[in-house]
Structure 1
Amino acid sequence: MTIPNNLSQHDLTQRIKTKALALGFDLVGIAPAQGSPELTFFERWLDAGYAGEMHYLQRNAERRRDIRQVVPGAQSVVMCGLNYDTDYLYSTDCGDPDRGWLARYAWGSDYHDNMQEKLRQLQAFVAELVPEEVASKLYVDTGPVVERVYAKYAGLGWFGKNTCILNKKLGSWIFLGELILALPLDYDRPALDHCGTCTRCIDACPTDAILEPYVLDSRQCIAYLTIELKGSIPETLRSQMGHHIFGCDICQDVCPWNRKRTSTSEASLQPQPSQVHPSLAELAQLTPQAFKARFRGTPLERTKRRGVLRNVCVAMGNSGNHAFIPLLETLADDEEELIREHAVWALARLRQAGNDATPGRRIS
């Protein structure tokens, strides 16, 4: 693919970046469509079993290793970032054990639709600039692309020790999406690591999922346990999960780079009242129909009622609140075996805590 005569490579690059920002993206950078040491590490990470049951990461391994197998002739990856932070408290400031915690990214509508529409418009813009047909594909966390790697080489941010992409301005509250192009563009410089000697994310993880800087064992991560894991949560980890019912923000909440906050203006990413720190008692009583009505169009649809109520049972078991026992007794007879199992565990935990507690005091 060649650049049109009326545009230099530099001009084309700048027009694409300007358009991306005009579409509402907060960050944009361009990386070369080539291999990197991080992609080799990703394969070793998979081989170590750290992906757990996320078998989709194992599929298309060759395509993840070489993005040119995703888009033949690919030369550039336009990486775009969208801030999703809002001016609500962090999970580390909301310790009410009677209310569940949903990861910040799940407070609004499903971000995939928002990001994909913006990227489709960017793709159409490139097609207008370059009359000759340009092979391209766009993804938002849905394709065989290790997005964080290209985000680093596009200058959007560096790998934090918690493995999230960190940006000096936006911290780690960033959704990533990409447009892969069979088109030569100017590339940005890779972002430099600014974590220094800080280990706050590692020290704060309740389940010790960050084995060492930049190495996460997903099988121990609360986000994995509450979202990706479809079956039973290992009993050895349940008591460490606190009140988390969908994802976890702790390693990001404690990060110094997230102290300076910039709230998103995207309407679809504004928190829905039902999503922020919801009542465990209310969630425990959701019928299948009520669950669909409440969480339709949100990320929680992915985990379905059985997954969310499984997590609610664990959170109630960790709450120390004896008043949850009647609700858990009802859930112990739920039609879903997964919910029944975790309700029985939570009942045993609360009753044991009650036997050990001082009379007249809240179980904790």
Structure 2
Amino acid sequence: MSEAVKRALVAEALADGFVSVGVCRPDALPDLAARLETFVAEGRHGQMTWMGERMGWRGDAAALWPAARSVVMLAESYAPLHDPLAVLKQRDRGAVSVYAQGRDYHDIVKKRLKRVARWLIEAVEKGGYRSRQTGKWVALDAGPRPEVKVFVDTAPVMEKPLAQAAGLGWQGKHTNLLSRDFGNWVFLGAIFTTLDLPVDPPEAEHCGSCTACLDICPTAAFPAPFQLDARRCISYLTIEHAGPVDEELRALMGNRIYGCDDCLAVCPWNKFAVAASDMRYHGDGALEAPRLAELAALDDAAFRALFSGSPVKRIGRDRFVRNVCYAIGNSGDPALLPAVSGLVGDEDDTVADAARWAVMRLTGE
């Protein structure tokens, strides 16, 4: 039964909008715990203390839920409709990572995962399912009701290594998952289940001699291919890092105010990128190149209203405006001086510090 169930599950997930599906065992990554421990021991996780917590689960998917027999990994595309690097030349505008320009992916992917998981439970329990293509009933050998758990980036699950173990793609030199079939613009989700499903062979690495992702990084956040030091990564600095950013790194952040897409955008495998199945990821275009002067004026209420339903909302007004001040300081545009001058007395010390730094950069004083 398991082979037929897996074929049906893959077909259902692809029909529901996922671009790739694969299966691995929860214990498919015996060396993961040691790699994670080394990463944390070297301090490369920065302020992300949660990476050191529950490390036993994060480093071993089998320990997270011992009853699970299979991990179904799924990828969903959010490939952009525009060149994400173009906004970096517009110094009076802010660069927001592609994934955050629309609806929060946690909401969309998790709902889709839950639909697929419910389908799996019902198909096994009822001994069949109704085909989307033909509308006809397809019989399966009935079995006991399987248990499932779904995860999208909020639990101690290492999605990228598991996705490689399940054959979806490989972790490139930029440490993100990429594929010869869909590039690297994907979100990952996992369905843990008590069903014993056939596994897929793990994917091999196909980066070859290419170093485009390493060469473009503004802050040299990759100590070596396939290694990341989050403390220098602009995505980490703009999203996870609390308090002032080191001045050396501020000057390298350019106008990136939430995340960074440079290493993703230059990957040659994106020539095979698959269009996003859900247009909500693209948003209404308002965050494709927002004006820095307008963002600097946001108070807490305006920030919450602008980013309602967006991943950006998670970092809060103060951290976001701090990033905007750094971008204004890097703009070299004296016309933005009024936008940042009023923030030197901001109630938040980090915002005030960032504003003073920006004023100094723009005036030389």
TM-score over 0.5 for the alignment?
A: yes
1:57 to 32, 48, 51: 51
Partners of 2:84 and 2:108 lie apart in 1 by 24
Deviation of the 1:72 alpha carbon: 2.3
Please state whether the residue corresponding to 2:342 is helix, strand or coil. Answer: helix
Partners of 2:215 and 2:86 lie apart in 1 by 13
Deviation of the 1:286 alpha carbon: 1.4
> Quick one: which amino acid aligns to residue 107 of structure 2?
D
Size of the aligned set, in residue pairs, is 346
The aligned residue for residue 360 of structure 1 is: none
Matches for 1:221-260 after TM superposition, within 5 Å: 221-260=233-272
The aligned residue for residue 361 of structure 1 is: none
Q: Is the 8 A contact 2:19 2:274 kept in 1?
A: no
1:319 to 326, 331, 336: 331
The aligned residue for residue 88 of structure 1 is: 82
The aligned residue for residue 124 of structure 1 is: 118
1:105 to 95, 99, 107: 99
Please state whether the residue corresponding to 2:191 is helix, strand or coil. Answer: strand
Q: Deviations over 1:35-84 (max 9, x none)?
A: 33344312211221111111111111111222222222211110010000
Q: 2:278 matched to 1:266?
A: yes
Q: Is the 8 A contact 1:225 1:233 kept in 2?
A: yes
2:3 to 10, 34, 39: 10
Partners of 2:330 and 2:61 lie apart in 1 by 44
Partners of 2:73 and 2:307 lie apart in 1 by 29
Q: 2:44 matched to 1:71?
A: no
Please state whether the residue corresponding to 2:195 is helix, strand or coil. Answer: coil
Partners of 1:328 and 1:239 lie apart in 2 by 16
Q: Is the 8 A contact 1:72 1:182 kept in 2?
A: no
Deviation of the 1:92 alpha carbon: 5.0
Q: Is the 8 A contact 1:39 1:146 kept in 2?
A: no
Q: 2:219 matched to 1:217?
A: no
Please state whether the residue corresponding to 1:264 is helix, strand or coil. Answer: coil
Partners of 2:273 and 2:116 lie apart in 1 by 27
Partners of 2:303 and 2:205 lie apart in 1 by 42
Please state whether the residue corresponding to 1:347 is helix, strand or coil. Answer: helix
The aligned residue for residue 300 of structure 1 is: 312
1:279 to 273, 291, 295: 291
> Quick one: which amino acid aligns to residue 46 of structure 1?
V
Please state whether the residue corresponding to 1:189 is helix, strand or coil. Answer: coil
1:36 to 19, 30, 35: 30
Q: Is the 8 A contact 2:163 2:169 kept in 1?
A: yes
1:148 to 160, 163, 166: 160
Deviation of the 1:129 alpha carbon: 2.7
Partners of 1:163 and 1:262 lie apart in 2 by 20
Deviation of the 1:188 alpha carbon: 0.8
Partners of 2:273 and 2:146 lie apart in 1 by 38
Q: 2:342 matched to 1:335?
A: no
Deviation of the 1:170 alpha carbon: 1.6
* Runs of 5+ unmatched residues, structure 1: 1-7, 356-364
Deviation of the 1:292 alpha carbon: 1.1
Please state whether the residue corresponding to 1:303 is helix, strand or coil. Answer: helix
> Quick one: which amino acid aligns to residue 198 of structure 2?
D
The aligned residue for residue 193 of structure 2 is: 181
Deviation of the 1:90 alpha carbon: 2.2
Please state whether the residue corresponding to 2:23 is helix, strand or coil. Answer: strand
* Runs of 5+ unmatched residues, structure 2: 126-143
Q: Is the 8 A contact 1:39 1:149 kept in 2?
A: no
Moved more, 165-174 or 268-277: 268-277
Q: Is the 8 A contact 2:88 2:255 kept in 1?
A: no
> Quick one: which amino acid aligns to residue 37 of structure 2?
E
Q: Is the 8 A contact 1:67 1:74 kept in 2?
A: no
Partners of 1:286 and 1:178 lie apart in 2 by 36
Please state whether the residue corresponding to 2:22 is helix, strand or coil. Answer: strand
Deviation of the 1:295 alpha carbon: 0.6
Partners of 2:65 and 2:51 lie apart in 1 by 18
Q: Is the 8 A contact 1:310 1:338 kept in 2?
A: yes
Question: How much is the aligned-residue C-alpha RMSD, in angstroms?
Answer: 1.4
Please state whether the residue corresponding to 1:30 is helix, strand or coil. Answer: strand
> Quick one: which amino acid aligns to residue 230 of structure 1?
A
Partners of 1:156 and 1:237 lie apart in 2 by 34
